[in-house]
Structure formats: structure tokens, C-alpha cells
Amino acid sequence: MVAAVAGARRGWGAVGGNGVKVLVFGQTGQVAQELARRLPDGVSAQFLGRNQADLTDPVSCAAVVAAADADVVINAAAWTAVDRAEAEETAATVVNGAAPGAMARACAARALPFLHLSTDYVFDGAGERPFKVDDPVAPLGAYGRSKLAGERAVFAAGGTALVLRTSWVVSAHGANFVKTMLRLGRERSSLTVVADQIGGPTPAADIADALYRMAAALRAGAKGGVQHFSGAPDTSWADFARVIMARAGLPCAVVDIASSAYPTPAKRPLNSRLDCTGLAEFGLQRPDWRVGLDKILQELAA
């Protein structure tokens, strides 16, 4: 089913959003749900579920764009099963690589701005400094390779496109680290959490607001390219878990462990820090994830 929503809350940047129509690939994911909830004033949107836009069929995704009554297209859908991608890389690459490329080509043919979400997993996680948008990419696993394929396919299309790399997405919806920690924190007196992976937790609500701001800028003539967007301050998963427990009032203790003590099919980057200085071009800055966390906890409690 296609969900159509009219915006009545936020401004469309400095451009004005009266009558702007947004086509969003995605409906049930964390960012897609926040895009639906946080539509700017004067903006309407269609949100495409899998029955309307199957990312395993890139040709059909392009056909949807070609036929849509839209002024801008946002791809908030993806293969997000990082570990499963190790065994199903071909399928993951169709969803994360070929499908966004097909969308971008269809957008280029109609001169529609296209915005696409990517990930810190395109980097190898080496070092301790934040990764810049133009740093060399070197994914550690299948998921990162599939997302990098999507980035390259989007820009190869030749249209106006922006790729937004983000990290550690959390919200009150779906499966994510915050909800997992809350569940375990209620069940256990202590748990072990990886402490040597460092990055920026990023509320999906802030990603949605950033996408709308960037979409408005692209329609007003801003250049596309790659941007980074992650929450601040950078932290470890273990320290993030401690803050979740404290703010939720849970007595569960968090014990640090190394990544090597928690093996997974896909290797995770140790350094997921992202240099987000380019956000200033859009009048944006890194959101404080602690503020976002409090809002998530309030929503879950309600």
C-alpha cells in the first residue's frame, strides 16, 4: 500500500514547500517512519512499501519513479541485515546497489533531485580520527560493499543526487540498539557490551529533518555529492548502553568487552566516527543524540 501524507509541521528550509511532492522508497523502516511523521509545511509525500516498490526488482523501481507525480525522490529503503549479507551478498547488492542506481537514473531522466542513505560501513574503521567524505573507502564486509555499490551507481547516473552517510540509527520504531538495551536491561542485572567500537548514535528523527532540509536545498540549486550526518558526541556502544540504562532508570550494569569477545559473521568497523563539517552548507549541525534518546524514551514510555 502507498501511504500518502500531507505535511503540516516544519518549514521546507528557506525555500518554502508549498505544493512540493516527495516520493519516498520505504514505509516501515526507522527513517521512513520519521519522514512520514515530520513532513514540512506544504509538503506531501507518498511512501512506498515493498508491494509497491520491490528493491529486488530495480527495473520496477525505475518505472515507479518514471510514472510518479513527484518533485523529489528519497530512498530510505535498504537491506540492513548486516550479518545475513555475508551469506547473501548478491541479493544485498541488488537491493543496496542496483536498485538505488535504477532510481537515480530514472530521476536523472526527469531532472528530479535524488537523496539516498548510506553508511559508515563503506570505510574500514581504521584509526581514530573522523572519516571525511572524500577519504578512501574500503568496506570490511558484504553489507559495506553493497552500500558502496549503491553510492557509485547513484553518482554514475549523472543527475542531481546527494548521498547521506549516517551511523548507529535509533528510534522508537523497529529493531535497534536502544530498544534492545531496554529489553535486556529489564531482564538482567548486568550485560556485556562492546567498548572498542566508537561512533555517533543518530536519531532517525534528526536524519529525517536533515533529508528534508537537503532536499529543499537541492531543489533550490545546491550541489549534490556526499555528506556525513551522525549524532554527537562520539561514544562507544558500551558507554551508549550506560546512558540508556541511566536515563531509563534501569539498574542493569554494563561490562565492557572487546569486539573480539563478541564474534559476528560480519566484521564491524572499530572507528565509525564521521566528519560532518559539510552540514554547515545546509544550515545543519550534528544533533545531540542524548536529546534524541530522551525523546525516544518518552515516546516508548507513552
Catalytic-role residue among 121, 143, 212, 262:
143
Q: Element (H or E) spanning 42, and its range? A: none
Cis peptide before 233 (omega within 30 of 0): yes
3-state secondary structure of 196: coil
* DSSP summary character for residue 234: -
Q: How many residues does the chain have?
A: 302
143 is catalytic: yes
Dist CA 288 CA 257 (whole Å): 25
Cell of 95: 537491493
Distance, first Cα to last Cα, the chain: 28
Q: Element (H or E) spanning 109, and its range? A: helix 99-110
CA-CA distances (angstroms) from residue 224 to 55, 121, 276? Answer: 23, 21, 15
The answer to whether 222 and 115 are in contact (CB under 8 A) is no
* DSSP summary character for residue 178: H
Dist CA 35 CA 175 (whole Å): 17
- Residues marked active site are found at 143
